[in-house]
Amino acid sequence: MFYQGRTVLVTGGTGFVGTHFVEELLRRGARVRVPVHHRPLRVGVGEVETVEADLTLPADCVRVCQGVDYIVHAAGGVAPAAVTNALTPVNPLSIINLNLNVSMQMLEAAWSAGVGRFLILGSTTVYPPVTHAVREEEAWSAAPHPVYFAYGWMRRCLERMAEFVAMKSKLQIAMTRPSAVYGPHDDFDALKSHVIPALIRKAVARMEPFEVWGDGSEVRDFLYVTDLVQGGLLALEKYATCEPFNLGSGTGNSIADVVRILLRLTGRQDAQPVFDATKPTTIPFRMVDISKARTLLGYDPKVSLEAGLAMTLQWFLDNPRWTGVEGR
């Protein structure tokens, strides 16, 4: 009942993660508002209040915050391995600048507009390199991994700025650090996608050879997007105290595991993946300890990697309009 009848602004509500927050908030009876700029609304058409706004402009940030009870801040750019390693025309600094400026402007606008609560969807790039399931308190024990040097420090900066806002204003801030999120509505663009959508696209296209960047041993805590939404909304409701919570699946899987499952799901068990260790990847190991979220929030991720991959694959097959396959 916490969200029933409340006006909730979902920034990035036309994108991957934001779309799922919109769907769940509507199910919970919230009045949902979404800023719309370049992309159309994907879900809730006719139910969601849309506002034409460019969140790189401070005045638009202030305008969309008026009369809002809570904010789910899901807007921002993402940086897959090819971008992080400067192998695409996208300048990595442009993504860092976008995230920093939009997030700072939204925090300022929320403070000025008297918004009650604000959910930050942070990043595990704040953590130093470790080979165990990392705990929240380890974020400041050393510098971020060199691969994430700029992005990780930007995320750390945003967390500190959020703490400042929480100290100086009445805005209550919930802070999460999701692991590697995937699921329906993800970005399947060949140049911008993360590992799971990239592998799904290759598997469906029956690419031969089936090339995989890296040697396959890289371990990630893959988090299905609805489990992220569950954890984020729990944090906003129960622990908006600017204290970070890891959100993950509670398990680690290698890229080779993902490849094996996807080849089976697409009927390509006989395919021989070619792992190319010369191609860019990010870090060799990243898992998060979710015991704090389990204990304090009641967080309980539901979707296994195999089930999540099957649902994401089916969505990709069923939605050529959104995946970029239509018309090719």
Q: Tens digits of per-residue pLDDT, 99-136?
A: 999 999 999 999 999 999 999 999 999 999 999 999 99
User: At a CB cut-off of 8 Å and minimum separation 6, what does 145 contact?
Assistant: 125, 127, 128, 129, 152, 282, 283
Residue 153: predicted pLDDT? 96
Place 82 in a pLDDT band, splitting at 50, 70 and 90: very low
Question: What are the structural domains of the chain?
Answer: 7-323 (3.40.50.720)
Quote the distance between the C-alpha of residue 95 and its chain's center.
Answer: 14
Q: Tens digits of per-residue pLDDT, 65-81?
A: 999 999 999 998 776 65
Query: Following DSSP, what letter does each residue of 168-222 receive, concatenated?
Result: HSS-EEEEEEE-EEE-TT----TTT--HHHHHHHHHHTT-SSEEEES-S--EE-E
**pLDDT of residue 88 exceeding 60:** no
110 and 69 Cβ atoms separated by less than 8 Å: no
Residue 324: predicted pLDDT? 57
Nearest to 169 by CA among 103, 100, 240: 240
Query: Per residue, what are the HEC states of 233-294?
Result: HHHHHHCCCCCEEEECCCCCEEHHHHHHHHHHHCCCCCCCEEEECCCCCCCCEEEECCHHHH
Over residues 216-233, mean pLDDT = 98
